[in-house]
Amino acid sequence: MINNQPSVLVTGASSGIGLAITQYLASNGMHVFAGARKQEALEGLAKNSNVTPLKLDVTNSEDIKQTKIIIEEKATGLFGLVNNAGIGNGGPLMDVSVEDLRALFEVNLFGVHQITQAVFPLLLKAKGRIVMMSSDSGFFATPFFGPYCSSKFALEGYSDSLRREITPYGVKVILIEPGRITTPIWDKGEKYLNKYAGSLFAMEARAIGEYAIRKGKTAGLSPLEVAKTIYQVLTAANPKLRYIVAANKLEYQMMKILPASYVDKLALKKVQKVVKLAHAAVNHSK
């Protein structure tokens, strides 16, 4: 605690969901250790008196070591860890290199493991909470986003196992499963649209990618909605194990219980519809 404020470490705090979480928690009486990789982001975070910016790449062992040292020096404890840092990319799985797949897992799973393992003694002492930023892609595997879905499915399994191991020792593990959220991640995704132009699946992959980006930019919820949920998770006496943050929660809940064969048919129908719309748009522009 700092001046009796609950202390929380947020990874990936430079923009989007991570920045919204940092700002919301700090404005609601928590002290936030905000991890970011870029100097510009760290300088911006430092302007908030309730925020201690930390140079933190969750794949860098030295950064993680220094993060723990700084937290131990500046606070008498750590109540929360929000594992928000993550990267997302897509593409036809039969064209994605093992190097690209491994790079994604390095951040979305192995990075989560490294930082969680490092600060766990502090969380254990505080009987604190570990919040995992999963996704709707952690339970609904969409075609042509296989790399990202795979990493989030892995995170869900990791989180379930961890929760069942450490709950008896007083530390809670909670999964957050956002749907579409309007963040800069959609701009970053545009660079992958032409990456697999020579693929057997190029037409479908590009159409789905463009559709996802367009929807993410225009129909996504504000990152503030996720931040509010994180605050609830950190302050509720008995938080739920999972929180879906989406406008269409019922649809997502149905995806969890419908037979896989039926979900497969829905996914195929969606791909066909999106490809048809993409063709129509191209023809209309000619």
125 is a domain residue:
yes
- Amino acid in the structure at residue 101: L
Average pLDDT over residues 219-246: 96
Say how many CA atoms lie within 13 Å of 231 toward its Cβ: 19
Is this prediction's pTM over 0.75?
yes
Active-site residue, from 148, 158, 192, 196: 148
281 is a domain residue:
yes
148 has catalytic annotation: yes
Task: Name, in order, each residue with C-beta under 8 angstroms of 207's C-beta and a sequence gap of 6 or more.
Answer: 271, 274, 275, 277, 278
From the list 65, 54, 66, 57, the residue with the least C-alpha distance to 8 is 54
Average pLDDT over residues 89-107: 96
Share of the chain above pLDDT 90, in %: 81
| CA 280 to mean position of chain CA atoms | 34
Q: Do 156 and 108 contact (CB within 8 A), yes or no?
A: no
| CA 50 to mean position of chain CA atoms | 23
pLDDT band at residue 2 using 50, 70 and 90 as cut-offs? very low
Q: 228 is in which domain, residue-wise? A: 7-285
Count of structural domains, the chain: 1
Q: What is the rounded distance in angstroms from the CA atom of residue 88 to the CA atom of residue 148?
A: 6
Average pLDDT over residues 63-81: 93
1 is a domain residue:
no
264 is a domain residue:
yes
Q: What φ, ψ does residue 243 adopt, rounded to 5°?
A: -130, 120
161 is a domain residue:
yes
40 is a domain residue:
yes
Helix 146-166 and helix 112-126, axial crossing angle in degrees, nearest 10: 30
Q: What is the rounded distance in angstroms from the CA atom of residue 149 to the CA atom of residue 55?
A: 27
In the structure encoding, which two tokens stand for residue 215, read together? 């929807």
Q: Is pLDDT of 203 > 80?
A: yes
DSSP-derived secondary structure for 131-158: EEE--GGGTS--TTBHHHHHHHHHHHHH
Q: How far is CA 260 from CA 160, 200, 247, in A?
A: 21, 25, 23
We report the CATH number of the domain holding residue 129 as: 3.40.50.720
37 is a domain residue:
yes
127 is a domain residue:
yes
